[in-house]
Amino acid sequence: MTISSSLKRSCSSPDLRGSPGLMLFPKDGGCVLYNPKEGTFQRKLGDFSGCRFLANSGNWLLLLDSGSNLYIVDAFSEKKIRLPSLESIDSADCIVKCVGDRKFVRQDSDSIFSDLSADVVRGLLWVSESGKEYVVVWLFDLPGHSYMSFCKNGDTHYTDIPLFHHQDLHWLDGLSEMVLWGTRLYLSTNRRYVRVLDLSGPQGFFKDITDGTPFPMLSADMSCDSSIAVTTSGQVLLVESDPCNRTCFRLYKKNPDIENPHLFGHTVTEVDSLNGEALLLDLGYTVPANKALGIEPDSIYFTRHYRPCQCASPDLDICVFNLATKSLDRYPDLDKMDLIDARWFLPSGN
C-alpha cells in the first residue's frame, strides 16, 4: 500500500486535539501526518525534498537541506527560521570549513578532523510552546569526534561543547546518548555516565549542573540496546530493548544505595512503571498521561526500539508498549508504507 492510496481514503484534516500523532516521511518526499486514534492520513505538512530530518519538537522540525543549511520549520504553518551555518562556530582555537559538496574539515588546536560529511550530522531540537524560544544541538556523529555545538534564539553562531576531558576525568569522555529537555542537555558518555548541562545562559556559555558526581547508568545486561530518558521531575531513566526479543522494554532508575559507582558494574534498579506518565522514546522524555487525549499512562510510544548513534538506521517499528500489560499496540496501516523515517509528536499548544 502506498501513501497516495491511503490519502485518497481521507481527505479531511485529522484533528489531533492534543493527542499523540505521527509525522511520517515517505521515500518519495514530503511529510505526512497520521492520526493513530482515527487511523487517518493527511498530506498537508509541506514538501521537504532533498532535506534530512534531524529532530522534532511539537510542530517544529529540524532539517538539513541539500546545501548543508540547518533550519527549523513549523510543519503546519511552514514558518521557517534559518540557523547559523555549520561553519559559524565562535572559537579561538577551532575552524570549521566547507571543502566541497557537503564535505567539511574541522581544525582544532591539537587535531584535524577531515572527511566530515553533512550526511553524518545528528541533531536535537527544543522549541517553546510560543515558538519564540528554541535550542538546537548538532554534531558530526562519528566515533571519536571531540565536540558538539549548540545555539539558541538570538545567537549568531554556535557554541562548542567538548566531549573529551582531562585524563583524570576519562569516564566523562565521549557520547553514547543525548536528550534535550528544554534548555537542559543530558549526555550519556561512552561509559554511560550522565552529565546535565544548562544551556540557558548568555551566548557562548553553558554550565554543567550535574547533581554531585556524574552517575553511570549500568544494567546487568550490557548486550541490550539502550537509551536514556528524562521524566517530568527531571529523573533520568535507562530504557533497554533486547535485540533478540523486540516484544518488550525494561526500565531502570539510579540505585540510591550505591555510594561509589566506580566500584560497581550494575548501578541501576529496575522499575515497573512510569508513575502514570507516558514516554515518547523518540524525544527522550515523559509527558503527563491523559486518557481523554489518548495519552496512555505507563506506555512507551516509539518508532524504533532505541535512539541510534553514529547515524545507524534500525528498521522502523511503530508501536505503543504498555508496561502494565507488557503488550504492543501496532498500526497495520503503516506496515507496508515505504518510509525513511517517522516520529511521534505532541502538537504545540498542549
> pLDDT (tens digit, 9 = 90+) per residue, 244-254?
888 889 999 99
CA dist., res. 75 & res. 79, Å (int): 8
**What is the model's pLDDT at position 15?**
59
303 torsion bin: left (phi>0), alpha (psi -120 to 50), beta (else): alpha
Q: What is the pLDDT of residue 140?
A: 92
Please state, as a whole number, how many other Cβ atoms lie within 10 Å of the Cβ of residue 80: 11
Q: What is the pLDDT of residue 309?
A: 60
Q: Which residues of 127-166 are buried (b: 16+ CB within 10 A; e: fewer)?
A: bbeebeebbbbbbbbeeebbbbbbbbeebeebbbbebbee
Q: What mean pLDDT comes out for the span 195-211?
A: 92
**What does the pLDDT read at residue 167?**
60
Residue 113: pLDDT over 90: no
Residue 292 has pLDDT above 90, yes or no: no
What does the pLDDT read at residue 4?
A: 53
Band (215; pLDDT cuts 50, 70, 90):
confident
Return the higher-pLDDT residue of 15 and 295: 295
305: confidence class by pLDDT, cuts 50, 70, 90: confident
Q: What is the pLDDT at residue 112?
A: 85
Residue 114 has pLDDT above 70, yes or no: yes
109 vs 68, residue with greater confidence: 68
The pLDDT, as a whole number, for residue 214 is 83
262 φ/ψ angles, rounded to the nearest 5 degrees: -60, -20
pLDDT for 28 beyond 90: no
Q: What is the pLDDT of residue 191?
A: 85
pLDDT at residue 10, as a whole number: 39
**pLDDT over threshold 90, residue 180:** yes
Contact 119, 136 (CB under 8 A): no
Query: Residue 1: its pLDDT value, please?
Result: 46
Instruction: Write the CA distances from 17 to 169, 232, 257, integer angstroms.
Output: 47, 21, 43
Distance of CA 254 to the CA centre of its chain: 21
Q: What is the pLDDT of residues 55-97, one digit of tens each?
A: 999 989 999 999 999 999 998 888 999 999 999 987 777 889 9
Q: Which residue from 119, 118, 136 is spatially nearest to 127, judged by alpha carbons?
A: 136
Contact 149, 159 (CB under 8 A): yes
Looking at residue 13, its pLDDT comes to: 40
**Is residue 81 within 8 Å of residue 134, measured between CB atoms?**
yes
With 80 as the cut, is the pLDDT of residue 315 above it?
Answer: no
- Binning pLDDT at 50, 70 and 90, where does residue 8 land? very low
